[in-house]
Chains A and B, each alone.
Chain A
Amino acid sequence: MSTPPNPCTLLSMRYLKCVFQPRFSGNQIHATLRNGFRAGKLRSIEARKAQILQLAYLLQDNYERFKQSFASDLGRPSLETAFLELDSTISDCKIAYDRVDRWARTERAPFNINFAAFRPVIRKEPKGVVLSISPFNYPLWLALGPMAPLAAGNAFLIPKYMDSDVVRVVYGAVPETTKLLELPWDHILYTGSGRVAKIVCAAAAKTLSPVSLELGGKSPVVIDPNCDLKTAAKRIMWGKCVNAGQTCVAPDYILVQEDGMDTVVKALKEAHDEFYPSDPAASPDFSHIVNNSHFNRIKGLLDKTSGTIAFGGQTDEAKLFIAPTVVHSVKGEDSLMSEELFGPILPVIPVKNLDEAIKFINDRDHPLALYVFSQDASFKNKVFDNTQSGSAVANDTLVHCALDGLPFGGIGPSGSGYHTQKYTFDMFTHLRASLDSPSWSALSMPAIP
């Protein structure tokens, strides 16, 4: 009864073959999912839990296959795939499975003597049929992580290991996505770039679909010259090198006081050499760039820099490899500061003092993550109190994303809406307020003259 049936293996192979569907019919799929929703297929908690488990099975059954596919798609090290994507998604499945009862339970409104007799409650209802558009960089975690919508009871467009009346995946590129966006969705979750986010929002404006945007931007790192630099450098280098810097919350650039710059660069080099004792090009522990377009983009930015390359800088187009690279003495107008790097290049920008660092950050778009390395509380507080950012992270990079209980979301151009676990559940849930008025109540009858 409990082992996943054989057809699951067949389905997983189908999933891994990226097939552009001939005669794509978004309308048909949308209608099927809407019927599945209306039929109440995911209304019961048991049904939702069953689908969540199917997802966990999909991942566990095909663990090695996913590692291999990311190795060939992204040159991604096996451990990164395991640690960053597969494990976190399976863990999210388990958390959702354990907690969906609690999340979905109807809440009583806080007590108010005037209305207690009216039994005010807040029902947690699925919004309906939702669309999730996920990017290339963490395809599993970002596509399947929000499967907590299954916990919310929605019908979803994602991989087919589960009941196809409630969950569907659509492969495609611009034409297919454009067609999908013409339809009304009860919620759209878009993860990706600001440019495409505007296209999604423009379409959503026509259908009044609510949207959550997980975008990015340039996440700054502010280093206190008095901090524990060896540890800081390791944690920053790690955050930059994971997935070759193709992470929405990768530490994008460093701000440090001018007289501390050389020490920082030296510490970064030491950390780099520990990670890659020989050539990073040959290391199985370093990812490559997703495609030619991004490779050329990143290389172009590096070629135009007016800063000085401290180490790294090697590229290999055939292998889509760009080495972990630190560039120092970078200025605000540099090519490396013109857009989100989304690659393994780390500019170091010297500033006069902390005030200048804060001004530098505030002159730019609110970042998704803001990193501060310091053991001094007043230093940290000064930065966080005088800036705005999606998250405020001290003394590490990246790890705040998967912390159970903390919402992940941006502000301004870095996005809106929150997710992970209950926050994703809430994103796809409608709070339906409800009252039940007793027949004896005369409260609702003020005099009408």
Chain B
Amino acid sequence: MATLLHTPIDEIAKIRDALRATFKSGVTRPVAWRKHQLYQLARMAQNEAEAFCDALAKDLSKPRVEVMAAEVGPVVERALKSAEQLEEWARPECPEVPGWQKGWKPTLLKAPKGTVLIISPWNYPVILTFQPLIGAIAAGCCAVVKPSEAVPHFSQLIAELLPKYLDPSAYRIVNGAVPEGAQLLDLQWDHIFYTGNGRVARIVAAAAVKHLTPLSLELGGKSPVIVDAAYDMDLAAKRILWGKCNNAGQICVAPDYILVPRTKQDELVRGFEKAYKAFFPDGALGDKVTGVMEGRKDAARKRIEPTVVKDVKDSDSLMEEEIFGPVLAIIPVDDLEEAIAFINARPHPLVLYVFTEDPVAKEKIINETQSGGIVFNDTFQHLAVGELPFSGIGESGYGYQFMKYTYDTFTHLRSSIDMPKEAEPFLQMRYPPHGAEAAQALAGAAYLPIPPSSPPSGRL
């Protein structure tokens, strides 16, 4: 077990103050400076990939392929892409305005918010620590990162690595547990980006009240899967099981439970058995047992095999909270209405998965449900599309990330105009004393012609 060196509590405020001073110095402003930091972050992820794999093997027994594919790879890719696109993102925008306002030089400046706090969880520590950091760097902010003490090898590793690659006067790691976290939350930040669960999110949100700090909360919940009777059950099972097995189901967007027509439940279960055998020819626990998915555990190695439970009811223990493990609950329903009602009776999920080719069913589900994201005929895959905004809604959180969305999260849109002297004759009307002519002219908008209409429902 690694010894995680906690940052001394009385150092924490000093670290924040030092970063603030760095921000004020303006050193993070030039785009070239930020690009270099982004390239350094990419270099760190690439050069130290082995060290990351090693740390996560120790902390989570995470397979090397998963670390490289789902964590290190996207960090390198997104740091590079952000660096490439940064000039475009940072460019001031000039909105289209009516001719008479053009002389006011209306401009939208992209200003960094300042010094920000990023709190990351244990399950995908690499990507969930560095993805928000990429956006903060791109935006020109200084940042403190607080990784999870539940992954001590990882957190200790980045405390050692980060200052070798990134400018430590602008980016720092603070390690620790509850006391250190509380101290961080007591301080003023210009934005807090929290990834984790709803219980701690409420603590973070309550702490942020003191300084009216804007927040991003990337939470989770139970992400449902709807399977349509007409869909290929084997293909659905394969894609769902793949999503469930990643990190043994310990991911915010893991397919949590499945709603399937009663008549198709057994066929789906058979599909899971086939897929399991294909993924794990020697059994998931590596012990060459051929009976599948029976919930066998290996406590010594902290392993549970992928398990499917059918005929689950609403009141079941498996429906009490986010499973966050390799157990799939199947709930048989009579029809799509029942599936939709089931989902709507619960908090909005982070993602809704739907397996159907029927456009009418797709439209119905889109219109009658709410979720962070909605993915048809696959699981998990939307995380790979950096161009899509990722966020929850309701209990699953708020605030967007990925690529430009992360950049925007840490950016303040600073509106600007510059009123020419020559505008004065035009502005004259607004000054008192107000004559009748001025009153008439200024009130023009009130008399805009309103188009005829009647509401579709026939009311009012």
Contact = CB atoms under 8 A, between A and B. Distances in A.
A449 B65 contact: yes
Contact of A77 (B95, B386, B399, B432): B432
A445 B95 CA distance: 44
B385 interface: yes
Interface residues of A, number: 123
Number of contact residues on B: which range applies?
Answer: 35 or more
Contacts of B417: 393-394, 396, 399-400, 403, 406
Nearest to A275: B432
B450 A60 contact: yes
B374 A434 contact: yes
B419 A394 contact: yes
Of B98, B201, B433, B452, which is in contact with the most chain A CB atoms at under 10 Å from its CB? B433
A186 B371 CA distance: 12
Interface in A260-293: 274-277, 283, 285-286
A123 B209 contact: no
Contacts, number: 321
Contacts of A215: 212
Nearest to A410: B412
Interface in B207-223: 208-212, 214, 217, 219
Interface string A185-203: 0100000001001100110
Interface in A401-429: 403-409, 411-413, 415-418
B367 interface: yes
B439 A79 contact: yes
B321 interface: no
A399 B418 CA distance: 10
Nearest to B105: A394
Interface in B382-420: 382, 384-391, 393-395, 397-400, 412-420
B221 to A, nearest CB: 11
Nearest to A213: B212
Interface string A13-48: 000000000000000000000000010110110110
B342 interface: no
Given A110-B387, A407-B413, A411-B412, A277 B366 contact: no
A115 B384 CA distance: 9
B280 interface: yes
B370 A384 contact: no
Given A403-B104, A437-B375, A431 B389 contact: yes
Contact of B101 (A82, A395, A403, A449): A403
Given A109-B385, A407-B415, A395 B420 contact: yes
A120 B385 contact: yes
A430 B460 contact: no
B65 A82 contact: no
Nearest to B400: A431
A97 B452 CA distance: 12
A96 to B, nearest CB: 13
Given A94-B450, A283-B432, A431-B391, 4 more contacts: A391-B415, A394-B417, A394-B418, A435-B378
Interface of B: 24, 26, 29, 63, 65, 69, 95-98, 101, 104, 106, 108-109, 111, 113-114, 190, 198, 201-202, 205-206, 208-212, 214, 217, 219, 232, 235, 238-239, 242, 245, 279-280, 344, 357, 362, 366-368, 370-382, 384-391, 393-395, 397-400, 412-421, 424, 427, 430-434, 438-439, 442-448, 450-457, 459-460
